[in-house]
């Protein structure tokens, strides 16, 4: 078990622990450390333009500090009372073997908002793990909270998905060969698939002081990384009603852009801005553009996005899509049905499909709805990744045999079951099931021999 846990922590600590700056404190700010009741220690803060009528809270990521906002604070202070703080366990704030989870950090943000802003309305901006904290904070319906910005948010997709992506990124950067990503993902995937067979779950480790001290050596970064991986943000994603700007560096090798697409699609009032020529820390890589986007969103008076669209239903087209022994084909638009046999690297994008059958193939779906008369998607000995979409069927939304599925932001609805699977592995991230058997959010890995959900 310890080896598997350390594998996850190695990836998360190396990659989420990227800090934009170190050394100097943000210029022009008022610094102080105060006692706080959540972790029962001292939290250190930086403020700017304290006379402004509206506040902004800035929350940094894993391994970071207020210095990560060095270029952001002066720009936002033109219009707002800016409050940045070192998360406990990092920077100048107190450190210890504590429950450094997004939920606990969100409670601290509530305390700081009440302490510093009192009667002021305010916004919140979070980067990486700080984005997860901001999302958790917003879902708790705080008073006077108005708008949110999320930058390259970590911890939203299932840990298996994130760790496989990061393993591929790390190996690709080390070797300079992008094709190595697939090798690393398969290796890390096999390790992570063993996690559900362990007698003690990694989440049990952070729940006890003994586990944090013995297994994690009381290290704040290790604790925070595992706490982040353990949280399920499904409810938070669907419940936050305030206008939200999701920003993502187009070259982020730490957290996949796929996360941003899921957030933008499944949050009721969210939109996605992709920052060109930026990595995991766009406020460093493209400081001027990032600051402009953040200020524009926070100064806006009207909602930026409409309610998420309802499921589209069955397509009107009679078009039939087929693939046999080919690679790299792309399908878009309406289809009565699509059938793939012995095909690889197939993309289905912005489509409505009556029924999708996939045999001995690999396919990636984006923003695609499937509405079948029996099952919506049938997969046999195939690898399928789906990002955003609604899949329904009179019997089941998905029937899978000897297949591997990765679903993020996918809503499944079946007349009998949402999923019927035999000898298949399915990882769900921020998804939802609806059937007579089961209804609710799902954020989990399932290895299914002959089961239904």
Each residue's pLDDT tens digit, 53-66: 999 999 999 999 99
Q: Does the pLDDT of residue 325 top 90, yes or no?
A: yes
Range in 36-50, 215-229, 313-327, 338-352 with the lowest mean pLDDT: 215-229
Of 25, 30, 75, give the one whose Cα is nearest residue 287: 75
Give the confidence band of 209 by pLDDT, cuts at 50, 70, 90. Answer: low
CB 265 within 8 A of CB 241: no
Of 98, 128, 126, 123, give the one whose Cα is nearest residue 36: 98
CB 22 within 8 A of CB 92: no
Q: Does the pLDDT of residue 16 top 50, yes or no?
A: no
* Superfamily designation of domain 2-156+230-299: Alpha/Beta hydrolase fold, catalytic domain (3.40.50.1820)
Residue-wise over 180-219: b if at least 16 C-beta within 10 A, else e? bbeebbeebbebbeebeeeeeebeebbeeeebbeebbeeb
- Average per-residue pLDDT for the chain: 87
Percent of the chain scoring above 70 in pLDDT: 79
- Is 34 in a helix, a strand, or coil? strand
Looking at residue 93, what is its pLDDT?
98
Looking at residue 303, what is its pLDDT?
63
Looking at residue 8, what is its pLDDT?
52
Mean pLDDT to the nearest integer, 344-373:
97
Looking at residue 220, what is its pLDDT?
82
What does the alpha-carbon distance between residue 400 and residue 255 come to, in Å, rounded to a whole number?
28
Range in 125-129, 171-175, 377-381 with the lowest mean pLDDT: 171-175
Give the confidence band of 15 by pLDDT, cuts at 50, 70, 90. Answer: very low
- Which tokens is 414 given? 């079946």
Looking at residue 20, what is its pLDDT?
42
Can you name the residues that pair with 59 across neighbouring β-strands?
A: 85, 126
Give the confidence band of 11 by pLDDT, cuts at 50, 70, 90. Answer: very low
Range in 150-164, 179-193, 236-250 with the lowest mean pLDDT: 179-193
Mean pLDDT to the nearest integer, 435-443:
95
Mean pLDDT to the nearest integer, 203-228:
64
Higher pLDDT, 103 or 24: 103
- Which tokens is 68 given? 């990560």
- For 175, residues 6+ apart whose C-beta sits below 8 A from its C-beta are none
- For 200, residues 6+ apart whose C-beta sits below 8 A from its C-beta are 1
Range in 95-109, 140-154, 159-173 with the lowest mean pLDDT: 159-173
- Is 29 in a helix, a strand, or coil? coil
Mean pLDDT to the nearest integer, 246-262:
96
CB 215 within 8 A of CB 2: yes
Looking at residue 435, what is its pLDDT?
96
Can you name the residues that pair with 369 across neighbouring β-strands?
A: 352
Domain segments of the chain as ranges: 2-156+230-299, 320-452
Looking at residue 397, what is its pLDDT?
98
Percent of the chain scoring above 90 in pLDDT: 72
- Which tokens is 273 given? 């801005």
Instruction: Give me the DSSP letters along 225-245.
Output: HHHHHH---HHHHHH--S-EE
Burial of 390 by CB count in 10 Å (0-12 exposed, 13-18 middle, 19+ buried)? buried
Phi/psi of residue 55, each to 5°?
-105, 165
Higher pLDDT, 210 or 102: 102
Strand order in the sheet with 145-151: 30-36, 41-48, 81-85, 54-59, 121-127, 145-151, 244-249, 270-275
Give the confidence band of 314 by pLDDT, cuts at 50, 70, 90. Answer: low
Contacts 24+ apart (CB under 8 A), 323-330: 323/361
Looking at residue 2, what is its pLDDT?
47
Give the confidence band of 18 by pLDDT, cuts at 50, 70, 90. Answer: very low
Tokens 């009192």 appear where? 118
Looking at residue 155, what is its pLDDT?
94
At 161-199, the pLDDT tens digits run 987 887 766 666 665 555 554 554 455 455 445 555 554
- Is 60 in a helix, a strand, or coil? coil
What does the alpha-carbon distance between residue 190 and residue 428 come to, in Å, rounded to a whole number?
17
- For 24, residues 6+ apart whose C-beta sits below 8 A from its C-beta are 67, 70
Range in 166-170, 208-212, 248-252, 352-356 with the lowest mean pLDDT: 208-212
Looking at residue 162, what is its pLDDT?
86
Can you name the residues that pair with 363 across neighbouring β-strands?
A: 346, 384
Q: Does the pLDDT of residue 298 top 70, yes or no?
A: yes
Is this model's pTM higher than 0.75 or not? yes
């Amino acid at each position: 078990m310890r080896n598997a846990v350390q594998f996850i922590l190695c990836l998360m600590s190396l990659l989420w622990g990227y800090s934009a700056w170190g050394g100097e404190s943000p210029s022009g700010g008022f610094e102080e450390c105060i006692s706080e009741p959540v972790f029962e220690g001292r939290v250190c803060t930086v403020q700017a333009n304290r006379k402004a009528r509206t506040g902004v809270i800035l929350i940094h990521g894993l391994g970071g500090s207020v210095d990560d906002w060095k270029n952001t604070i002066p720009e936002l202070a033109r219009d707002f009372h800016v409050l940045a703080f070192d998360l406990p366990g990092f920077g100048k704030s107190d450190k210890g073997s504590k429950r450094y989870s997004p939920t606990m950090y969100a409670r601290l943000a509530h305390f700081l908002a009440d302490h510093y802003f009192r009667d002021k309305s305010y916004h919140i901006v979070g980067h990486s793990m700080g984005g997860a904290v901001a999302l958790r904070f917003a879902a708790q319906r705080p008073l006077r909270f108005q708008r949110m910005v999320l930058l390259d948010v970590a911890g939203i997709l299932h840990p298996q998905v994130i760790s496989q992506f990061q393993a591929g990124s790390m190996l690709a950067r080390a070797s300079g060969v992008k094709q190595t990503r697939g090798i690393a993902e398969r290796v890390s995937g096999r390790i992570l698939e063993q996690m559900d067979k362990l007698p003690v779950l990694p989440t049990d480790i952070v729940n006890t002081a003994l586990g944090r001290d013995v297994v994690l050596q009381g290290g704040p970064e290790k604790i925070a990384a595992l706490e982040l991986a353990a949280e399920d943000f499904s409810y938070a994603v669907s419940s936050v009603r305030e206008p939200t700007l999701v920003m993502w560096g187009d070259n982020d090798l730490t957290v996949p852009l796929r996360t941003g697409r899921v957030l933008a699609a499944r949050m009721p009032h969210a939109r996605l801005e992709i920052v060109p020529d930026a990595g995991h820390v766009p406020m460093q890589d493209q400081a001027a553009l990032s600051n402009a986007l953040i200020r524009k969103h926070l100064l806006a008076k009207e909602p930026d996005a409409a309610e998420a669209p309802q499921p589209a239903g069955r397509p009107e087209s009679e078009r039939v899509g087929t693939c046999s022994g080919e690679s790299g084909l792309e399908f878009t638009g309406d289809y009565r049905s699509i059938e793939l046999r012995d095909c690889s690297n197939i993309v289905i994008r912005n489509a409505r499909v009556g029924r999708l059958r996939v045999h001995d193939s690999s396919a990636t779906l984006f923003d695609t709805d499937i509405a079948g008369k029996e099952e919506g998607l049938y997969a046999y000995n195939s690898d399928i990744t789906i990002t955003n979409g609604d899949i329904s069927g009179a019997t089941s939304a998905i029937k899978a045999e000897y297949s591997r599925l990765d679903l993020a932001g996918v809503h499944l609805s079946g007349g009998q079951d949402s999923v019927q699977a035999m000898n298949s592995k399915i990882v769900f991230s921020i998804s939802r099931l609806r059937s007579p058997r089961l209804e609710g959010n799902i954020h989990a890995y399932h290895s299914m021999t002959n089961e239904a959900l």
